Amino acid sequence: MTFKPTMAFASLLALPAIGIINATAETVHVSTPATSLVLKADKGKELRFYHYGDKLTDADIKSMLSSSSPSVNAYAPYGMNTRRETAVAAVHTDGNMTLDLVVDGVEHDGNTTSINLKDKYYPFYVRLNYRTYPDDDIIEMWSEIYHGEKGTVDLTQYASGYIALPYGDVWSSNLFGEWAKEGWLEEMPVPHGLKVVKSRDALRPNHAAHGEMMFSLDGKPKEKSGRVIGAALCYPGSFKLRTLNDNSNWIHFFAGINEENSPYKLEKGETFTTPTLAVTYSDKGLGQASRNFHRWGRANKLAHGDKLRDVLLNSWEGVYFDVKENEMVQMMEDIASLGGELFVMDDGWFGDKYPRDHRSQGLGDWVVNTTKLPNGIKGLTDAAKKAGVKFGIWIEPEMLDEKSELYEKHPEYIIKASNRPNVRGRGDAQVALDLANPKCQDIVFTIVDTLLTKYPEIAYIKWDANNAMAVHGSQYLPASKQGHNNIEYWRGLTKALDRIREKHPDVVIQACSSGGGRVNYGYLPWFDEYWTSDNTDALQRVYIQWGTSYFFPAIGMGSHISAAPNHQTGRRTSLKYRTDVAMAGRLGMELQPKDMSDAEKEQTRRAIADYKTIRPTVQLGDLYRLQSPFDKKGVASLMYVSPEKDRAAFFWWKTESMAAEQLHRVPMDGLDPDKTYRVTELNRIDQKALPFEGKTFTGRALMSNGLPMPAFHNVDKADATDFSSRVLLLEAL
């Protein structure tokens, strides 16, 4: 969870002595099976950072510490000898703007090591926490800040964590983008000076940048070799990642909430707990770092990360706002007949005084529009039952339209600056609830609770959030705490989400935010999956899904077959290609099936059946990226391998289409070299089988040579397509 319950100041002062070991000098070795983080915590001195990376032995650490190895302040405070970037800054009650933090003690509690820092003069304290996840080689860090000064201390900087990378040919890989282009990959040598990746949008941060970063320490990022440090800030609000390359022995990395315009008034007795920063280390390139995040994400972050996801049909691109009962029922029957398991009714089903016929009204009034749905939601859940599929529904509980009954009754419930007009978002109508306000938190809880209590058949919720934090201002917070606006929003939403999950632990919830605006580990604990992007164009999705896979697992990656021409790019790609791209994530559909021909339906029926045979491998297996679309080689390819290495799903998509093209051969990865695998093509459209269909190969041969893919499909001229693609199932004999 992003925010822990506030800890009382008194209880922190009364920490039991039991956990404190070696109170005067301590080497802190936070380790997982393959990684080590080494700090030196000498009581009364600065906390020093020595190492994060390869697993070190006690002897390694001893020689490192006894040989004047370089070290650096592990959580640099602002004010004394401040020449570099800092992690924490505060203004004391007497106006003094300096911090001078030294170690007060170290505690160990299960998998968590905490280091208490205190100011040399002021009663100001920071507790740095490092929690290990041994199964995944992940260390999660966060800080708790509190004080005993008389009055309020202004916190002006509050990083979640810091790590230092040894200086060298270090490259960064991070994701940027905006609506319909989320998860775009950018890789570059870490420049000298400060590289800042940040978002100022407290509601949909990823539409500017993403809060994750990979560092390749041995030159240009590679998938299978080289040392890599991965970092994921677990916070879905405005964030800041700072990478400082400052002519020292180190490259410094700080991550946390974007503190700009968010000074925090910390009361005496209150603890400010930052979100966490999760880091991992791999000596086998980017691929292993991603797999660490995926395993950790499934086991510790996503809701129900061990349960297979259903194949679904979502109504959005099929009917948009034009929801009608008979068409909803027809769509349910269609997805059931195609082998799908869930139907999701998207936007457009609600609103009485202001029917949700378009994007400019109705948000906030979660009452069924009985003109569109005469038999209400019960009529739909009954129909879903009859059709043999589960039923899901779209909501956007944090937002309102000005044209809504809720807004008319309670204009004081929205984010708004005093003495300023509303700043409207989507549809020139949308505003956000002021979730600092407990009444607004209740509204969010009640929307979900009412739906799920009244209609227990609802198995799935698509939770959308389409507004940016367009304006700074809480109508609930006092004038002195307007700086808390962005932070209190997330605290409020977290409280509502906790209540929802406590009462409704089993419902599947998708995190959507104008597409992928909130794909972040700080948000996913309440959610089963994320809508990667509103862009359903298969070719562009190859890129978006590639970037997203750096940090996030396929089990959560909603990926839908949509219509051609694509509604976002206008591109026409074959049903085969659209399906093959969607099969690499959590497969779904997003179109009106009644517009499909019988042949297309039959092809899709077979593809869904094929997907079910690889679903556990895609959703719970290990990802091996083979050929990046960002390398522009005309082909992209990746594969998933089951943990036992007895099954694999191989994906290969053309990313350009030229005649007489020299195609890169793609060696496979992740297989057991000594196992023999039988190859079967899935979602096959070719009249003639591939030359290797049904044949067997050792893992060694497949990882050494790959399989040569023909550039085009063997189909009738009338069915010829550009952008060929292949999905192969590999089964160990």
CB of 529 to ligand GLA, least distance (A): 13
Q: Which is nearer to ligand GLA, 311 or 679 (CB)?
A: 311
Give me the catalytic one of 534, 610, 622, 669.
534
Tokens of 19: 């956990």
Q: How far is the CB of 294 from ligand GLA (least distance, A)?
A: 24
Least distance between ligand GLA and beta carbon 514 (Å): 5
Q: Cα separation of 486 and 528, whole Å?
A: 25
The residue whose Cβ lies closest to ligand GLA is 347
Out of 136, 434, 464, 622, pick the active-site residue.
464
Angle, CA 178 vertex, CA 440 and CA 351 arms, to 5°: 40
Nearer to ligand GLA, 464 or 488 (CB): 464
The distance of Cα 473 from the centroid of its chain, to the nearest Å, equals 27
User: Could you give the C-alpha distances from 153 to 76, 89, 97, 115, 228, in angstroms and in order?
Assistant: 18, 10, 10, 21, 38
Least Cβ distance, residue 710 to ligand GLA (angstroms): 35
Query: How far is Cα 379 from Cα 387, in angstroms, rounded to an integer?
Result: 12
Instruction: Give the nearer residue to ligand GLA in terms of CB position, either 466 or 725.
Output: 466
The residue ranges that bind ligand GLA (CB under 6 A) are: 316, 346-347, 394, 464, 466, 512, 514-515, 531, 534
Residue 465 beta carbon to ligand GLA: minimum distance, rounded to whole angstroms: 9
CB-wise, 137 or 346, nearer to ligand GLA? 346
Q: Name every residue whose Cβ is closer than 8 Å to that of residue 345 and which is 6 or more positions away in sequence.
A: 315, 323, 328, 380, 391, 392, 393, 394
Q: Which is nearer to ligand GLA, 212 or 317 (CB)?
A: 317
Joined together, the tokens standing for residue 282 give: 């791999």
Least distance from ligand GLA to the Cβ atom of residue 316, Å: 5
For residues 232 and 521, the answer to whether their CB atoms sit within 8 Å is yes
CA distance 44 to 23: 10
3-state SS assignment for residue 513: strand
Longest alpha-carbon distance in the chain: 82
What DSSP state is assigned to residue 546? H
Minimum gap (Å) between residue 311 Cβ and ligand GLA = 17
For residue 154, the tally of other CB atoms under 10 A from its CB is 16
User: Strands 152-166 and 88-91, how do they pair?
Assistant: antiparallel
Q: Which is nearer to ligand GLA, 27 or 510 (CB)?
A: 510
DSSP, residue by residue, 293-348 = HHHHIIIIISTTTTSPPPPEEESHHHHTT---HHHHHHHHHHHHHHT--EEEE-S-
Catalytic residue flag (residue 109): no
Examine the residue annotation and report whether 464 is marked as an active-site residue of this protein. Answer: yes
Give the span between the Cα atoms of 409 and 403, in whole angstroms: 11
Q: How distant, in Å, are the alpha carbons of 25, 658, 663 from that of 632?
A: 53, 13, 12
| Nearer CB in complex with ligand GLA: 144/317 | 317
Q: Which residues are catalytic?
A: 464, 534
